[in-house]
Amino acid sequence: MLASPKAEGHRRARRWWPWALLAPGLVWLIGLYLLPLLALVPLSLSEPVSRFGLDTVFRWRLANYGEVLGAYGPVLLRSFGFALVSTGLGLLLAYPLAYGIRFRGGRWQPLLIGLVVLPSLTSYLVRAIGWTSLLGDNGPVLGLITALGLTDLGNGLGLLRDGRLLNTPTAVVLGLTSNQLPFLVLPLVVAMQRIDRRLLEAAADLHAGGLRRFRLVVWPLSRPGLASALLLSLIPAAGDVVNPLFLGGPNERMVGNTIENLLLVQLQAPRAAALALVLMALISLAVVLQLRTGGLDDLALP
Amino acid sequence: MVALQNLSRRYGDHVALENLNLTVGAGEFFSLLGPSGCGKTTTLRLIAGFDRPDRGRVLLQGRDLTGAPPHQRPVNLVFQNYALFPHLSVWDNVAFGPRSLRLPEAEIRRRVGEVLEVVRLADLARRRPHQLSGGQQQRVALARALVNAPAALLLDEPLAALDPDLRRTMRAELQRIQRQVGITFVLVTHDREEALSLSDRLAVLHEGRLEQVGTPRQLYDSPRSAVVATFLGAANLFREGAGSGVRLLRPERLRLRSSAPAEGEQGMRARVRELVFQGATVEVRLRTDRNQALVAIDTAADVPNNLRVGSELWCCWNPADSHLLEEPA
């Protein structure tokens, strides 16, 4: 059948409509995100004109990458290590929390979700500074540890350093964990919302106790939420600047601090760009792997 | 077998169940029948353990289960919407209970295989629930509960989600399966046809109270109250002139004739208001000269051909076919 001109017009309109709706977002992303990011590529292949300024000259200097990986490989590893440990710790807290909010929250559910999100509404700089007084030498946490006589144990396990909490990996991981918690809880709550309460009743009816109900029903059915929670937590944690700065010492610096240091202190813009791109690449790799295994449909984003 | 003693449950001001006493025998097909909100689902949830009574006890095989959590009760529930695990295959859905009970692997395989044969789903064991039709999902739900060899199988409106044809097929299936496995079935339904055709005995609940318990025949022919009489089928209720009693006459006991009542019969003149042809039967709605509405149901062959809306005739019945309700109006 021949399409009437009118129908043809409709079809054409239908084709450009989605693009028109996407345009503002695309312009934003391309202009303010993609172009600056691409500008880093030539910068990362340049070298500084002098040791005292940020001016650079493009030289195809691939060696920047090798040097950066050689010098800062351990920092990259540490960053991802901290991110993984804090995410793992966060998950241990987030799963029971999300479960409680979803299945026991009742009419308090919106309030409970609000309480989880509330800390994120304050600047995370303020939160990190707050942590310094909590974890400080005269702070309540260390006071409790001392009172319980756990100082030697903490030292032995490497959680404390010379009886102190500040400037230890422990402090940085704790700070990161509290930052990431809402990003872990929300996707899990969203995923658990899709779990029919009757499935839990059915599991109980079929003689499964509490742990078994969690392991066989809640865990597998909340996995899409887990996947997006992992991404939402790992990515910002790996690139964090503030927590290592305030809660860690020189040995707890993460890749974000190193990039900042390269750019603003050492005036090595090309190396800073190279390191930033390496971080970008590693994170993109993680996202691509996730999307390939999980697929976009499974991402239960809040 | 299953014994409910003085069971009461309130939700705020709403009385869901008031002092329910009920005993279900071993191997019995027992139904709880009533309109929505009558307390039948509450009763089932109290037996399954998803809810606790405010007062009263739930006994199973003489054991007090009132405080036991659901997973420790030897009963299994077939949920109204089946509540199949979407991430598990048919086989794993059915094996869920036996695995939770930590039966030996060989025993699990034997039981699951057997019960899938019983519900005729052996070929579909590898499918996921969403790949099955409604009737097949229903049978998985049944198998998943039966495989645990429960002391009593609880069914919450199991056929309500099916279309009418399938419902009739599954009703027959349910009866066959119950006879085959011999397990006590407690069925909750608001469908009187379902309750009448399936049950050995049934209980009619109304506003949280037990109205009457008995065999389908007893309840249909000799209901205690007007509530039971009307809930189990179409009913003509006559106020007795002398006492304050109410007499029930089922519509199929009425005979429509042009001649006056014969010896030993009772009768009333009535005018036809509506004729509803239903295939095998015809439903005739009438109004008597004393302005009482009557309904008669007759086989299509027995209704006079010249019957029209507006026709006047005699409604006759044998007094022995009527039943005096116990409960005054």
pLDDT at A5 over 50: yes
The answer to whether A216 faces chain B, any CB pair under 8 Å, is yes
Residue A12 lies in a domain: no
List chain A residues with CB under 8 Å of B96.
Answer: 203, 206, 208, 216
Q: Tell me the pLDDT of chain B averaged across its residues.
A: 91
Amino acid A1: pLDDT: 47
Element spanning B256, H or E: strand B255-257
Residue A13 lies in a domain: no
* Cβ separation B83–A201 shorter than 8 A: yes
Structural domain for A260, as ranges: 59-298
Interval A217-253: pLDDT, tens: 999 999 888 988 988 899 999 989 999 999 998 888 9
Residue A79 lies in a domain: yes
What single-letter DSSP state applies at residue B261? Answer: P
Amino acid A89: pLDDT: 96
Residue A32 lies in a domain: no
Residue A138 lies in a domain: yes
Contact B289, B269 (CB under 8 A): yes
DSSP for B126-182, please give it. Answer: TS-GGGS-HHHHHHHHHHHHHTT--SEEEEESTTTTS-HHHHHHHHHHHHHHHHHH-
Q: Mind listing the domains of chain B with CATH numbers?
A: 2-227 (3.40.50.300), 235-324 (2.40.50.100)
Amino acid A2: pLDDT: 52
What single-letter DSSP state applies at residue A265? Answer: T
List chain B residues with CB under 8 Å of A197.
Answer: none
- What are the two backbone dihedrals, phi and then psi, of residue B103, each rounded to the nearest 5 degrees? -75, 155
Contact B313, B272 (CB under 8 A): yes
Q: Could you give the ipTM of this predicted complex?
A: 0.87
Amino acid A88: pLDDT: 95
Domain holding A259: CATH number? 1.10.3720.10
pLDDT at A6 over 70: no
pLDDT at B242 over 70: no
**Three-state DSSP state, B278:** coil
Tokens 């309500």 -> residue:
B160
Count of pairs with CB atoms under 8 A, one residue in A, one in B: 58
Per cent of chain B over pLDDT 70 is: 98
State how many domains chain A has: 1
**Three-state DSSP state, A247:** helix
Provide the pairing of β-strand B152-156 with B184-189: parallel
Residue A266 lies in a domain: yes
Beta bridge partners of A209: none
**Residues 6 or more apart whose Cβ sits within 8 Å of residue B276:** B282, B283, B284, B285
Residue A19 lies in a domain: no
What single-letter DSSP state applies at residue B317? Answer: E
Among B85, B100, B145, the residue with its CB nearest the CB of A199 is: B85
Q: How is residue A40 written in tokens?
A: 């880093």
List chain A residues with CB under 8 Å of B50.
Answer: 201, 204-205
Best A197, A201, A206 residue to mutate vs chain B (most B CBs within 10 Å):
A206
What single-letter DSSP state applies at residue B12? Answer: T
Strand order from edge to edge, sheet including B29-33: B75-78, B152-156, B184-189, B29-33, B201-206, B209-214
pLDDT at B176 over 80: yes
Q: How is residue A30 written in tokens?
A: 């391309």
- Kindly identify which residue of chain B lies nearest to residue A198, measuring between CA atoms: B83
Distance CA A55, CA B89 (A): 64
Distance CA B205, CA B228 (A): 9
Nearest to B183, CA basis, from B30, B67, B318: B30
Interval B245-287: pLDDT, tens: 888 999 999 888 888 888 888 888 999 999 888 888 889 999 9
List chain A residues with CB under 8 Å of B111.
Answer: none
* Cβ separation A206–B81 shorter than 8 A: no
Interval B83-102: pLDDT, tens: 999 999 999 999 999 999 99
Length, in residues, of chain B: 329
Distance CA B93, CA B78 (A): 13
Interval A185-218: pLDDT, tens: 999 999 999 999 999 999 999 999 999 999 999 9
List chain A residues with CB under 8 Å of B72.
Answer: 207
**Residues 6 or more apart whose Cβ sits within 8 Å of residue A217:** A195, A199, A200, A203, A208, B85
What single-letter DSSP state applies at residue A153? Answer: H
Contact A185, A116 (CB under 8 A): yes
Residue A111 lies in a domain: yes
Distance CA B198, CA B188 (A): 11
Tell me the CA distances in angstroms from B151 to B28, B61, B65, B183, one per residue in order.
11, 8, 13, 7
The answer to whether A194 faces chain B, any CB pair under 8 Å, is no
Amino acid A4: pLDDT: 61
Best A194, A197, A207 residue to mutate vs chain B (most B CBs within 10 Å):
A207
* Cβ separation B144–A206 shorter than 8 A: yes
Beta bridge partners of B256: B315
Distance CA A139, CA B310 (A): 96
Nearest to B91, CA basis, from B80, B77, B105, B71: B105
More confident residue, B1 or A110: A110
**Three-state DSSP state, B186:** strand
